[in-house]
Amino acid sequence: MSDKQELLLQMRGIHKRFPGVHAIKGIDMALYKGEVLALMGENGAGKSTLIKMLGGAHQPTEGIIELKGEKIEIENPQVSQDLGIGIIYQEFNLIPHLTVRENIFLGKPKSKKGVISKKEEHQHALELFQKIGIDIDPETLCCKLSTAEQQIVEIVKALSSELSLLVMDEPSATLTPQEVEGLFKIIRDLQKQGIGIIYISHRLDEIFDIANRVTVMRDGEYIGTKEIEEITRQEMIEMMVGRKVENEFPKHYHKIGAPVLEVSEMNSADVKNASFTVHAGEVLGFTGLVGAGRTELMRLIFGADKKRSGTVKLHGKELDIKSPGDAIAKGIGLLTEDRKGQGLVLMHSVRENFGLPNLGLFSKKGVINAFEEKKRFAKHIESMKIKIPHQEQLAKNLSGGNQQKVVLAKWLEQDCEVIIIDEPTRGIDVGAKYEIYMLINQLAEQGKAIIMISSELPEVIGMSDRIVVMRSGHISAVVEDVQNTTQEILLDHAIH
pLDDT of residue 180: 83
Q: Is residue 246 part of a domain?
A: no
- Does 257 score more than 90 pLDDT? yes
Instruction: Give the domain-ending residue among 206, 241, 276.
Output: 241
Which structural domain, as residue segments, surrounds residue 59?
A: 7-241
CA torsion 444→331→470→293, rounded to 10°? Answer: -140
> Which of residues 298 and 89 earns the better pLDDT score?
298
Q: Is residue 146 part of a domain?
A: yes
266 within 8 A of 297, measured Cβ to Cβ: yes
> Which of residues 414 and 101 earns the better pLDDT score?
101
Residues in the chain: 496
C-alpha span between 73 and 344 (Å, rounded): 38
Check whether residue 378 and residue 447 sit in a common domain. Answer: no
Strand locations in 219-361 (E): 221-227, 259-267, 274-279, 283-287, 309-314, 317-318, 332-335
pLDDT digits (tens, 9 = 90+) for 194-252: 999 999 998 888 999 999 999 999 989 999 999 999 999 889 989 998 888 777 888 88
**Region 392-402: what's the mean pLDDT?**
86
pLDDT of residue 385: 84
Amino acid at 121: E
pLDDT of residue 485: 94
Q: Is residue 303 part of a domain?
A: yes
Check whether residue 78 and residue 33 sit in a common domain. Answer: yes
- Does 423 score more than 80 pLDDT? yes
C-alpha span between 279 and 286 (Å, rounded): 14
Band the pLDDT of 433: cuts 50, 70, 90: confident
Segment (H or E) for 213: strand 213-218
- Helices 147-159 and 177-192: angle between axes, nearest 10 degrees: 10
Q: Is residue 340 part of a domain?
A: no
**Region 308-336: what's the mean pLDDT?**
94
C-alpha span between 380 and 40 (Å, rounded): 30
> Which of residues 369 and 113 earns the better pLDDT score?
369
Band the pLDDT of 1: cuts 50, 70, 90: very low
pLDDT of residue 160: 85
pLDDT digits (tens, 9 = 90+) for 454-484: 988 999 999 999 999 999 999 999 999 999 9
**Region 46-59: what's the mean pLDDT?**
93
| Number of domains into which the chain is organized | 3
Check whether residue 327 and residue 351 sit in a common domain. Answer: no
Q: Is residue 253 part of a domain?
A: no
Check whether residue 386 and residue 266 sit in a common domain. Answer: no
pLDDT of residue 166: 95
Check whether residue 464 and residue 377 sit in a common domain. Answer: no
pLDDT of residue 184: 92
Q: Where are the alpha helices (DSSP H) in 200-243?
A: 204-210, 233-241
Instruction: Give the domain-ending residue among 241, 276, 310.
Output: 241
Band the pLDDT of 2: cuts 50, 70, 90: very low
Q: Is residue 337 part of a domain?
A: no
C-alpha span between 257 and 276 (Å, rounded): 15
Check whether residue 158 and residue 306 sit in a common domain. Answer: no
Check whether residue 367 and residue 472 sit in a common domain. Answer: no
Check whether residue 290 and residue 323 sit in a common domain. Answer: yes
Strand partners, 394: 349
C-alpha span between 214 and 227 (Å, rounded): 6
At 313 the three-state DSSP class reads strand
C-alpha span between 69 and 352 (Å, rounded): 52
Output DSSP code: residue 339. Answer: I
- Nearest to 341, CA basis, from 257, 426, 268, 449: 426
DSSP letters spanning 81-146:
HHTTEEEE-SS----TTSBHHHHHHTTS--EETTEE-HHHHHHHHHHHHHHTT----TTSBGGGS-
Q: Residue 7, exposed/middle/buried by CB under 10 A (0-12, 13-18, 19+)?
A: middle
pLDDT of residue 3: 47
pLDDT of residue 397: 86
Band the pLDDT of 19: cuts 50, 70, 90: confident
Q: Is residue 49 part of a domain?
A: yes
Phi, psi of 260 (to 5 degrees): -110, -55
Percent above pLDDT 70 for the chain? 98
**Region 139-155: what's the mean pLDDT?**
88
pLDDT of residue 112: 64
Instruction: Give the domain-ending residue among 356, 385, 411.
Output: 411
pLDDT of residue 327: 95
Check whether residue 216 and residue 353 sit in a common domain. Answer: no
Check whether residue 299 and residue 376 sit in a common domain. Answer: no
For residue 65, the domain's CATH number is 3.40.50.300
Strand partners, 64: 12
pLDDT digits (tens, 9 = 90+) for 78-114: 999 999 999 988 778 899 999 999 999 987 766 666 6
Q: Is residue 156 part of a domain?
A: yes
Check whether residue 132 and residue 25 sit in a common domain. Answer: yes
> Which of residues 411 and 215 earns the better pLDDT score?
215
Check whether residue 393 and residue 473 sit in a common domain. Answer: no
Average pLDDT, the chain: 90
